[in-house]
Structure 1
């Protein structure tokens, strides 16, 4: 496994040199631990397990863990182990996600299912979930319980993501609930672990847990916007994946609520099966990029990020708090 450059999100405006150095050191320690954990005596398993970790990534969740820890006594061995466990859980979920999405690209390289096959990707994802649990087990019973509860929420969110909202349930409310489980749960745990294992008071731990969930939702909402608005060169992902899978993201839900006759063609496309229709996906993307629903979804995404910022207001003003508040907006402003 190769060491990659400092994640882009580490360059947080306003972060002090001392804080940046702490984060840099923490991320390097996570990478070293990940290299150790994903290695395997079987070369094929070792290569498949390291496939996505080698491709880099932002290490967004470990960064949250470390910033939360900086509100307490700082980064220590338990915090590093917790951060690595969260990141490994995230990596494992990507293997499964790419199989379900039939994705071909992840982080600018072939996805695991494309590089190997679906069965290998699923089994390696399971293996990495097991490795993550091994890491967390050393942190005590409460950490293990949190890991298990987080995993249940990840799975339930993904299951509900593949199903339409039930009759009588507002589709947007349903969708936001899915995001809270599918993405918010793990970022909440990232912050919670960082706060827990750095000696923060229980009320601060809970504040950071709630903040992490909101930031995770904003992160996923931004990802959904990227799937529509960015090209593959900028994002490292294949645009229109959600459209192909029939997943109604926030911009699509807002567009579907339109009663403007001028949107007839867009609504026709959004109501059709685009799984094998590259031309239809391309046309739908073009129309969505021009539609007010995209800006509406972007505005709502910023709103969730601002809710995360507001949760931190009661905490003492420190460089770590300022960085967390800045980070809440930066996840919305990224392009990949």
Structure 2
């Protein structure tokens, strides 16, 4: 894997973002001998968690450990460059694109794959103390972290749509209290949950009480405390990490209440040469799915480039 600071380099494909989607894309590019580069700010959304789960052969690894393994395995592909940095501008240039990094480096490429994921804005949740427990004992994804908290006393935080989430959470524990943080649910919804021994608390939350990142209790504005050990958040608080696709003319759409970039399954957007994969496209892909999307996207690009070269 090349490591260089050349200010201008031509690439077949430039991959922005180095999570599972981006690094998987880079691996396929390297194995197809494409001139490629990965630009990665190394600030993933899941860095707050202590471990990643559900990734085949790496269950329980920290997200940054996964990155280091991926970087190491890219070393043998001499057509792939890894650049630690942040892409801040992107524009069409000639028949391709020019991308500018925060340090002033400019890169040129024929195609761009955006795999920058999303970032959390935890304040949107309106749960004081959430920043102390998020990723440690309160999470968004039960498939990622439910097993480690099976059979615990769980808190589920969410508004109107939370009733769709509770049956899923019940797979890991039957001891569930739902906190709507002031949102009033339909009485029939509350009754259905109560009948299944799920308590619903509609008072506003004044504080998530924790010790060293471990949830201890949920304090209400009434002063009451409900003892809980861990929990899951239904409402999304994430936004796209990068606006580069917008700058290139890519439209956004809504998916499960989240603003995402509009792209098909291989990652193609309506802007020729611009692709979006992973959480930036779906809102939430999960590690395995994100890696698959990155791989599929660049396989599609390899087919395109092969056909273009065939026609010359």
Question: Between Structure 1 and Structure 2, which shows a larger proportion of helix residues?
Answer: 1
Larger Cα-atom Rg: 2
**What TM-score results when the alignment is normalised by the length of structure 2?**
0.32
**What TM-score results when the alignment is normalised by the length of structure 1?**
0.31
